[in-house]
Structure 1
Amino acid sequence: MPLLSRRLLLGTVVCTALPLHLAAQTLTQNAKKSGHLVIIGGAEDRQQDRIILRKFLELSGGPTAKIRFITAASGVPDAVWASYQAVFRDLGALDCEVVPMLTREDASKPNVISQIANADGIFITGGDQTRLMACLWESPAFQALHRAFFVNGACVAGTSAGAAVMSRHMLAQGTPTAAPQKDTVSTDIGLGFVANAIVDQHFSQRHRLSRLLSAIAQRPDLLGVGIDEDTALIIEPNQSIEIAGKGSVTLVDPRRARTNREAIEDGDKLEMLGLQLHVLPAGRRYVLPPLTKARKPSSPFGDALEQLAKPGPMRG
């Protein structure tokens, strides 16, 4: 697949830090009412507490849920699957399988489509997000993913490259720089579950703030979301946002900012004035008030959370 592009809340945002057992119980009860997104910054704990992977299993419906893994982003898919298979067996998952999809031809096979469409939880592993989208883009498997999430209420998780593809406008490539620069990153089209943001991962560990700023300078209508390793951004569309794991999620809102992007050359340093930056630590949950036609955001932060929680349109 060629690259397709190269170049909360009228009212108050409610922030609660629920006890883990109550939060897990509540989220499990609501899992089948709407799909959830579990967007992981990579390097999630698979050996000790495994907070994020346990949360994904709970949101998918618990031990009896049909859990399916998509490993098409990886250059070593068999090894990646073996690792996750052992972890989820240890967590008590009874129906956990890998989807046999590594090529674009595989993405049209009936058994692949059926496995995805009927899953309760779908986990997209790391690797290369461009490789993954070359396999999936506008394929029957892509459409099955959307049906699983939007129609059946499946929980869709992605780690590292699997996190990058969650947004419609996907960060494809770009080496972090000391300061944000014009057009030093390239973007492409992702799965589109998150409509109004660009997602970056391994965020603090790989010093990617400048890279994210360079990306949103190209699209100042979109939020920038940077997710630390062993950290997950959990979105219940139009309902709530929760941060799980060990790190933080950095949310950058450029929509009221001014830049000099149009006046400088490629590679020049960007001036970015009026950016809003929010840091959301693990253990916090942000609940949006009920949707009403008259509702207006109570604050710029509330507006940013509402935009982040708004899903993209269903495709297929």
Structure 2
Amino acid sequence: MQEEHAGALLIVGGSEERHGDMQVLSKFVELCGGPDSAIVVLTAATSVPDKIWAIYDAAFAELGVSNRAAIHIGNRREADDADAVAQILRADGIFISGGEQQRLLASIGGSKVHETMHRAFRERGACIGGTSAGASAISRHMMAYGTKDMLPNKNSAQLDVGLGFLQHVVIDQHFSERHRLARLLSAVAQDPDVIGLGIDEDTAVVIRDRGWLEVVGTGAVTILDGRRMTSNFDEANPHQQLELIDVRLHLLPAGSHYNIGRTADAPAALRNVLALVTEI
């Protein structure tokens, strides 16, 4: 039996720089193995795949990546295509573009492409990246839809099943820029055992091993821990504002870097939550 050696995850809050100072995409290329690596861009989340591919084609070319390609998937038949599966299995990195996470899961969820992404990640150590909708879909718990409410209510967020590369988090993107704290709080209230991860634009969370987390880019990552929370979620009426007591919030700016197996001075509360966030 082949020994597993899982790769890295790079989860982007959207609107990452794609020209010039590309801190986030540069980190993705580094995690894939450098400019000589093979990178594919999966555009299944968007309705304009050629336009999106042109943007990333130019960005990765600027970063020196010559072995780059797009995989355009628009339906279930294409998600089981043998050539697409072979491309993913050979890739050192798979980058999932933005768009609509529900479109992405409707196209590839449970398909051969989806299965092969997990094989590439776990057996070959490929890096899985995702931005915006591609970021929200990374986890098993996916933010499928959310409102623009300034305060959380029972219907501020709707969850669905994602791609399953992480187990205990729900991810929201464009976080500070689009004022999404309320809907992430609502998501955590629905399932307090799930950790909320809000990622700002041009910012990424990098996860390599359990307990290993780094924040790169120009913004910050907000972590919501509601495991000790009490709330009125179950009793609340639809659209009723929620009472949430004892929710823990951690804010990690770009440059934060923790390996809880080695960082003895990490606060106990953070060590505990990072163990869950980084379980792959």
Q: Secondary structure at the match of 2:214?
A: strand
The offset of 1:242, in angstroms, is: 0.2
The answer to whether the Cα contact below 8 Å between 2:205 and 2:216 also exists between their aligned partners in 1 is yes
Structure 1 segment 43-192 matched on structure 2, within 5 A: 43-192=15-164
Which residue pairs with 1:16 in the alignment? none
| Structure 2 match to 1:304 | 273
Structure 1: distance between partners of 2:123 and 2:29: 19
AA matched with 1:258: T
Matched letter for residue 191 of structure 2: R
Q: Which residue of 1 aligns with 2:223?
A: 251
Partner residue, 1:9 = none
Which residue pairs with 1:20 in the alignment? none
Q: How does 1:266-277 map to 2 (within 5 A)?
A: 266-277=238-249
Find the residue that maps to 1:262 and give its secondary structure.
coil
Sequence identity of aligned pairs in percent? Answer: 44
Whole-angstrom CA distance in 1 between matches of 2:61 and 2:49? 18
**d(CA) in 1 for partners of 2:252 and 2:245?**
22
Distance in 1 between the 2:105 and 2:151 partners?
A: 29
**1:114 aligned partner, one-letter code:** A
What is the TM-score with the length of structure 1 in the denominator?
0.84
Tell me by how many angstroms 1:67 deviates: 0.2
Q: Secondary structure at the match of 2:147?
A: coil
* Equivalent position amino acid for 2:32 in 1: S
RMSD over aligned Cα, in angstroms? 1.4
Q: CA deviation at 1:300?
A: 1.9
Count the aligned residue pairs: 274
Q: How far apart are the structure 2 equivalents of 1:154 and 1:89?
A: 20
Structure 1 residue 126, shift from structure 2 partner: 0.2
- Consecutive unaligned residues of structure 1, counting only runs of 5 or more, are 1-31, 291-296, 312-316
Residue type at the aligned position of 1:227: I
Structure 1 residue 252, shift from structure 2 partner: 0.4
Shift of 1:298: 6.6
- Aligned residues of 1:184 and 1:266 also touching (Cα < 8 A): no
Q: Distance in 1 between matches of 2:159 and 2:6?
A: 29
- Counterpart Cα distance in 1 of 2:61 and 2:161: 34
Cα deviations by residue, 1:213-256 (Å, 9 ceiling, x for unpaired): 01111111100000000000001121410000000000000001
| Letter aligned with residue 307 of structure 1 | L
CA shift, 1:100, in A, is 3.4
Contact kept, 8 Å, 2:53 with 2:70, in 1: the verdict is: yes
Per the TM alignment, residue 33 of structure 1 is displaced from its structure 2 partner at its CA by: 5.5
**Equivalent position amino acid for 2:205 in 1:** L
Do the aligned partners of 2:141 and 2:160 also contact (CA within 8 Å) in 1?
yes
SS across alignment from 2:41 = strand
Distance 2:77 2:235 in 1: 45
Change (3 A) 1:239 1:278: closer
TM-score, structure 2 normalization? 0.95
- Unaligned 5+ segments in structure 2 are none
Question: Residue 139 of structure 2 aligns to a residue in which SS?
Answer: coil
Instruction: Report which structure shows greater RCO (CA 8 Å, sep ≥6).
Output: 1
Q: Distance in 2 between matches of 1:274 and 1:169?
A: 22
* CA displacement 1:177-214 (0-9 Å, x = unmatched): 12110133211110011100000000000000001001
